[in-house]
Chains A and B, each alone.
Chain A
Amino acid sequence: MPALLAGIVIAVPVIMVLLAGLFDGGGPTWTHIRETLLLRYLGGTISVLALTGALCLLFAVPAAWLVTMFRFPGRAVFEWLLILPLAAPGYVLAYAWADLAGVGGPLQSALREATGWSARDYWFPDINSLPGLAFVLACTLYPYVYLTARSAFVSQSVCALEAARSLGASPGRSFWAVALPAARPAIAAGLALALMEAAADYGAAEFLGVPTLTFGIVRAWKSFGEPAAAARLAFVLIGVIAVLILTERWGRGRAGSQHSSIRWRHVSRTQLTGLPALGASLSCFVLFLTAFGLPVGRLVWRSIETGTRAAPIWDALVNSVILAAAGAVFAFILALMIVLAARAKGPAALFARASAVSGYSIPGAVLALGALAIIGLFPVTLSGGVALLALTWVYASRFTAAGTEPMAAALARAPASLSNAARSLGASPSRQAFEVDLPIALSGAAVAALILFVEALKELPATLMLRPFNWDTLSVRAYAYASDERLAAAALPALLITAAGLVPVILLSWQLSRSRPGEDQ
């Protein structure tokens, strides 16, 4: 019963959007959007997804292979450094990279100084473009692929690789013919996550001026004041995401035999020397610098330059913490209900789990539309408490899945015989839930709560659409400053969001390094 309730709470905003997209008359705005903008938005989203996906693979897979299979200077540090870009939201990287790579930015200035050219004498890649957006998104999202690829490579059977070698396959061929196909389902899963996030991005696309569906949704609502038209766009976007998920399921295929050998043997890393070692270190270093070091360094530089003089920030910080905490608590309670119910199995638990996962795949802008549609049913206006409540709801709807996963994983590690043992000792179902399942699930709860908090803190489009008037959060403040071309002022809030994001990422990488397969915990 609690699971059913949780599932409904999560699913309602999505269902409202779908209903609105299907049945609300589009009106003249929709006709306009359909005739002039829809193809551009759709084409933009699809192109961004394709290019971001390709870049993510290019960034992540070789890096994961290098740090898993070889020894080279700095390997152990790069292994976790390469996860850090996950901490910075796409819009933060977009601001930093636009600042870095603009005509007046340090990169082009240095180039001009070194060569004596003027700005018209050379071509420089334009970050304010579709490839630029894909590059920025790939910088922040490639760690999803890196993480799944790395764990697939680590957990692959060394025996299979050694067998390939003994059959005369070169190391290169072992990679292409054995390791990569075996890791493909994991890579596809990571890529699907990354692309869902890319499809949901609003801040970076808007800032870099790339028309995508999410961009169009917020614009239809904000500029045209047409929630119905926005809902229709959301309908299209949900379709794109559904195709993405189905493709991943299909790509996963029936291959799933990663854990074929019971006894683990550590991957014995091959020592690289000379030029290959230098190449490996350098490519990892360049990747880290591009995706995190340079842009975040630039933000740090900018904020030190201006300090807090440029703009007050404490009110936004407090607002952010309050809102993110409220969203995290709500999502955490829902996640707990779902996870405990999942122990009992049954259709309600399955439904709740599915709606949590689908909520996670729906962009915040779309869920915000759903919340607006719900508010529209009641005689209230979007202000004050109602707005905060709606926003909390949207956070919970979007991020609950991020909280269920660590707790479900903690429970899944516990053998099924535990609940039989509890029953044979006379524990009622409720006692079993509270005294056995709950404490075990809570061992994964700290991580879950932290992830939920940070995700809510980073969220931009829904916060932008639903926040009460004059109630800025860090993400909204960063967005507003950046939109006004006041990048120096945007740097500090952007940096604070990134710093908050680093906490769970570092925790995650620390956990990863501790819990390798084959090692007892």
Chain B
Amino acid sequence: MSAPLSAHEVTRRYGDRAVVDRVSLSLPPGQITALLGGSGAGKSTLLRLLSGLEGVDEGEIRLGEEILSAPGRTVPAEKRRIGLIFQDFALFPHLTAARNVAFGLKHLPKAEATARAQAWLARLGLEPRANAYPHELSGGEQQRVAIARALAPEPAAILMDEPFSGLDPSLRDSVRDAALDAIRAAGIPALLVTHDPAEALEHADRIAIMSQGKLLQEGTASEIYTRPVSAAVAGALGPVNRFPASAAPAGLLNGQDAGALILVRPEGVCIDPASPVRATILAARMTGPLTRLTLDLQGLKLTALVPPMSGIVQGTDIGVRLDPALTFTFASGKV
């Protein structure tokens, strides 16, 4: 098992603006940590700091006990043994797939490097494409070559910047599964930068959420999903209904402070014929496996995601309750 890659109170400024602001994050080996946030949240900059493409202004980056970055002292990217995978694949256009993969194996004798490259290509199902140039490969193949290339030198950690967002949706799942299996099997720390909450929830072991340069929360997927520490975290993992407790009709809430802010996920708004809280269905739309309802609870409008059932049509009056596991209460003003 290799060592964790960790950031300790790391800050990076562009001019006066801290794009990464005192972030601490530890990436455990053998697990995939998703770094989730909107554009401009500082995710890509944090990845550049971890990889050594940029230096830190404050704090430290360590691999195990070894200090990789400190202010004014940066082990350069080429000395770090940290693999990178890019959204645009970044394959060398003048090298074949096999030679791309062998690029990082310079320290090995040529025959051994070639054999290792072939083995990695085979592992990702690319054996027949070894002698193809990047422009002759499909998008999915290119990404798998990029992954093989990053893993072949047996890096100490691997960092992925939106690696699957350039792929066709129909390819994305199969490439992603192959890639993440190989990365988990390598037993090294892995960071997956993404702006897609569904990808983070489904494929990562741990999730870290960033916004405006700050790390808001870090934990396992279910921890973060069911116990967000702030409204911003709850909002980052998918759509939420958001309303002041004072706006809720009687009986909907369980005695929360009237000044509190309530967040409830659409799937936490449940239909319960026995409930005394009544709502009118303003709109009902199929969204695949679930139906999206727009409800009017005596003036409070909520969105609900419910399994399809009969009798759910516009204008119907139904009973509603909130699932406490998916309802979050925050002191008002804490956003």
Question: A: which residues have CB within 8 A of B?
Answer: 414-415, 417-418, 420-429, 431, 435-436, 439-440, 443, 521
Residues in chain B near residue A431, CB distance under 8 A: 106
**Interface residues in B, total, Cβ within 8 A:** 30
**10 closest Cβ pairs, A-B complex:** A425-B104, A417-B90, A424-B84, A423-B77, A421-B90, A439-B94, A417-B86, A423-B78, A418-B90, A415-B88
Q: Is the interface of A mostly helix, strand, loop or mixed?
A: helix
Q: Decide if A414 touches B86 in the complex (CB within 8 Å).
A: no
Task: Tell me which residues from 50 to 100 in chain B have a Cβ below 8 Å from any Cβ of chain A.
Answer: 51-53, 76-84, 86-88, 90-94
Residues in chain A near residue B146, CB distance under 8 A: 421
Q: Decide if A415 touches B79 in the complex (CB within 8 Å).
A: no
**Within the complex, which residue of A424, A439, A440, A521 is in contact with B77, where a contact is CB–CB below 8 Å?**
A424
Would you mind naming 10 contact pairs between A and B with Cβ atoms under 8 Å apart? A417-B87, A417-B90, A420-B51, A420-B84, A421-B91, A422-B78, A422-B103, A424-B83, A425-B149, A425-B150
B153 at the interface (CB under 8 A from A): yes
In this complex, the member of B84, B93, B104 whose beta carbon has the largest number of chain A beta carbons within 10 angstroms is B93
**Within the complex, which residue of B53, B88, B104, B135 is in contact with A426, where a contact is CB–CB below 8 Å?**
B104
- Contact A420 to B78, CB < 8 A, known contacts A425-B149, A426-B104, A427-B103: no
Q: Closest B-chain residue to A414, C-beta based?
A: B93
Give A80 Cβ to nearest chain B Cβ, in Å: 26
Residues in chain A near residue B104, CB distance under 8 A: 425-427
Give A438 Cβ to nearest chain B Cβ, in Å: 9
Question: B: which residues have CB within 8 A of A?
Answer: 51-53, 76-84, 86-88, 90-94, 103-104, 106-107, 135, 146, 149-150, 153, 155
A265 to B84, CA, bound (A): 35
Give A410 Cβ to nearest chain B Cβ, in Å: 10
A420 to B92, CA, bound (A): 11
Q: Decide if B51 touches A424 in the complex (CB within 8 Å).
A: yes
A79 to B53, CA, bound (A): 46
Q: Closest B-chain residue to A413, C-beta based?
A: B93
Residues in chain B near residue A423, CB distance under 8 A: 52-53, 76-78
Q: Closest B-chain residue to A427, C-beta based?
A: B78
A415 to B135, CA, bound (A): 14
Q: Decide if B94 touches A420 in the complex (CB within 8 Å).
A: no
Q: Decide if B86 touches A426 in the complex (CB within 8 Å).
A: no
Residues in chain A near residue B103, CB distance under 8 A: 422, 425, 427, 435
Residues in chain A near residue B52, CB distance under 8 A: 423
Q: Decide if A426 touches B81 in the complex (CB within 8 Å).
A: yes
Q: Decide if B88 touches A440 in the complex (CB within 8 Å).
A: no
Residues in chain A near residue B149, CB distance under 8 A: 421, 425
Give A461 Cβ to nearest chain B Cβ, in Å: 40
Residues in chain B near residue A429, CB distance under 8 A: 78
Q: Decide if A426 touches B79 in the complex (CB within 8 Å).
A: yes
Residues in chain B near residue A418, CB distance under 8 A: 90, 92
Residues in chain B near residue A440, CB distance under 8 A: 92-94
Q: Decide if B78 touches A428 in the complex (CB within 8 Å).
A: yes
